[in-house]
A and B are shown apart, each in its own frame.
Chain A
Amino acid sequence: MKRGLAIAWLLFLASVPVWLDDLYVLHVLIITGIFIIAAMSLNLLLGYTGQLSLGHVAFFGIGAYTSSLTTLGFSVHLLPDWQVSADPRPVWLGMLLGTLVAGLAGWAIGKVSFKVRGAYFVIVTVSFAEVIRLVALNWVELTQGPMALNNIPYLRLGVPGLFEISFLRKPANYYLVLAVAILSYIVIRRLVHSRAGRAMIALRENEPLAASVGVDVTRYLVLATVVSAAMAGAAGTLYAHYVRIVDPDVFLFIYTVTMVIMVVTGGKGTLAGPVVGGLIFGLLPETLRTLEIRAETQWVIYGVLMVLVVYFLPEGIVPALRNWWKGRQQSPPNALAAPAGTEAAR
């Protein structure tokens, strides 16, 4: 039953470019997909280990910049008379490197910031993202600063002389993003159902207790950060080679906030939560735009929605729906048999 539903979903998602001929809507779906991958990666940290990282966009941006610079090539003076240059490399290598470098950054940041918890951790992660943004803005020789990296090549895959697929057009990019999203979903699913995942959830529920039964706290938190950061980096590389222009604004705090809203609204600590939240907040702006609502009003609505979700759906949409469904399935037989008993039990 569950497997059938998943296959039906996949077939539906895969068929979208076939029957959808509005390229703008397809573009919105691609961007939404990229953000869903980022939100899924944030969910691994926020939902499963319980650590609120507000610097997550840094990994997204590091992935985007690393991949773009690898494929464009660069030449910088690290010291006045010491120049380092790199020639342009193929895009698949750039995307791989972008993912790896983001994961490495996640390892370093995890090592440093998991010395602290709670409010302190949140603020360290924010600071880290801001420092990276200011470096991207000011190291003009490497990043072009506010002039942005332009003409980033698109992905081409194939065997020389035999065949080649180019990811220039939107349908191809849609399938690429879909494939990476499914891969990320599977990775997270396997991870959280493994021994490491159970350790992470134990840490979220009660860190001193988990540590007392021998869970290596820092090790599992850093592991979650590395996987999460690499995944966010992969989303960044997809973004860079699809939009084909990257500027320091990819590090803006507001994108982290968007990811957090997606995860919290959908349901943190659930596999489907970021997907549901991502679809809502990826498509909502476009719906609002057709109603001719200004961008500022849209953000005001986001802010108010966030407050309302925390008040009325603190667990998020997916757990709320699941409880509602369970309640419906269980109550009809009981409702007639022993209404008084269920009332008393409550």
Chain B
Amino acid sequence: MDQFLQHALNALILGGTYALLGIGLTLIFGIMRVVNFAHGELYAFGAYMMYLWVMVLGANFYLALPLAVLLGVALGAVIELVLLRRLRGADIDTTMLVMIGAWIALQNTEQLVWSGVAKSINAPFPSSPLVLGSVSVSWNRLFVFVVALTLIAATYAVINRTKLGMAMRATFQDRDTAALMGVEIGRIHTATFALGSGLAAAAGALLGPVFVVYPTMGDLASLKAFAIVILGGLGSIPGATIGGFILAFMEELGAGYVSSGYRDAMGFLLIIVILVLKPTGLFAQKERIG
């Protein structure tokens, strides 16, 4: 029972960052109809920016975190303006191929710049864990969880409470009508891609110090984000949030009770099962957002 509680706690903490990844991807798919294969590269980018600021330039950890996220937002905006702006209205396979190209180019640029050796980031947290009865959790992971929950709440606030969020929801429901009502679709697309990218970069910047940073770390992140989004239903933000936690639970239990080698297989098995049994995902109401 104690072992189960520990697994559940680990899953809860990991689930926060998974949810960040999933929300970013689901926003981009829902509003732009782009299957973003470069999503994991933004995650890796966030982690490497954290490494750059903290380990190379010696900046303060708490200052480096928002900087890494903002750089992720900027990179997302650049990708949208340079690669996707011209393809608006193109079919889904075309944009997917462009994003696969971007993914390969970004990942190998990372490999060229940072070399293939895994890197670790020092975090300013006490090394002794916080012990709660029979379970324990490291301070670093607790920090990651709190920041992830704050970012999720902030994203909900942006989508549901701001004018930008209203325009995004309108674009999601009906792009043409939204455009007729005066929504500048181009700007909404840039904002969406930048926001989604920023969330992925935040997940990377948060998990980088917990694990290690390496150039191909984005591949699994991309595929896990896909699993989360499919689980929740493409385009559903609450679905992606809950999906992130469900995937984390399945991975923890799979690693704890089956075999740690199959930890990463859980997400893919989940995708296959969900798509066979309920292709619209668990929470999608005709692919709605908000």
Chain A residues with a Cβ under 8 A of chain B: 52, 112-113, 115-116, 118-120, 122-124, 126-128, 130-131, 134-135, 137-138, 253-254, 257, 260, 264, 294, 296-297, 299-300, 302-307, 310-311, 314
Contacts and interface: CB of A to CB of B under 8 A. Distances in A.
B122 interface: no
Nearest to A50: B93
A127 B264 CA distance: 11
Interface residues of B, number: 41
A314 B91 CA distance: 12
B268 A131 contact: yes
Contacts of B100: 257, 260, 303, 306
A304 B105 contact: yes
Given A134-B265, A138-B262, A305-B101, 9 more contacts: A113-B275, A115-B275, A122-B96, A253-B219, A254-B104, A257-B100, A296-B111, A303-B106, A306-B98
B108 interface: yes
11 contacts: A120-B230, A124-B272, A128-B268, A131-B272, A260-B97, A260-B100, A299-B104, A304-B105, A305-B101, A307-B83, A307-B102
A109 to B, nearest CB: 9
Given A122-B96, A260-B100, A304-B101, A299 B108 contact: yes
Given A52-B93, A127-B227, A260-B100, A119 B279 contact: no
Given A294-B112, A299-B104, A138 B259 contact: yes
Contacts of A294: 112
Given A52-B96, A118-B92, A138-B259, A310 B101 contact: yes
Nearest to A268: B93
Interface string B200-233: 0000000000000000000100010011001000
Nearest to B220: A130
Contacts of A120: 230, 234, 275, 279
Contacts of A264: 97
A265 B275 CA distance: 31
Interface string B223-259: 1001100100010000000000000000000000001
Contacts of B262: 134, 138
A296 B108 contact: yes
Nearest to A252: B219
A51 to B, nearest CB: 10
Nearest to B103: A303
B285 interface: no
Contact of A122 (B35, B107, B112, B265): B35
A127 B104 contact: no
Contacts of B94: 310, 314
B92 A119 contact: yes
Contacts of A304: 101, 105
B21 to A, nearest CB: 15
Nearest to B259: A138
A116 B92 contact: no
B254 to A, nearest CB: 11
A55 B176 CA distance: 35
Given A138-B262, A296-B111, A303 B102 contact: yes
A86 B103 CA distance: 42
A130 B104 contact: no
Contacts of A303: 100-106, 108
Main secondary structure of the interface of A (DSSP, over half): helix
Contacts of B161: none
Contacts of A123: 35, 226, 230, 271, 275
B223 A130 contact: yes
B108 A297 contact: yes
A138 B265 CA distance: 11
A259 to B, nearest CB: 12
Contacts of A297: 108, 112
B105 A126 contact: no
A22 to B, nearest CB: 29
B146 interface: no
Interface string B73-105: 000000000010010000011101110111111
B29 interface: yes
Top 3 closest pairs, chain A to chain B, by CB:
A303-B105, A306-B101, A303-B104
B173 to A, nearest CB: 19
Interface in B260-290: 261-262, 264-265, 267-269, 271-272, 275-276, 279
Contact of A127 (B93, B105, B272, B279): B272
Nearest to A109: B272
B150 interface: no
Nearest to A121: B275
Contacts of A307: 83, 98, 101-102, 105
> Which of A127, A138, A297, A310 has the largest number of chain B CB atoms within 10 A?
A127
A182 to B, nearest CB: 29
Contacts of B177: none
B104 A116 contact: no
A308 to B, nearest CB: 8
A131 B273 CA distance: 12
Contacts of A128: 268, 272
Report which residue of A52, A128, A297, A307 has the largest number of chain B beta carbons within 10 angstroms of its beta carbon: A307
Given A52-B93, A302-B104, A303-B105, A126 B223 contact: yes
A310 B97 contact: yes
B109 interface: yes
A192 B109 CA distance: 40
B226 A126 contact: yes
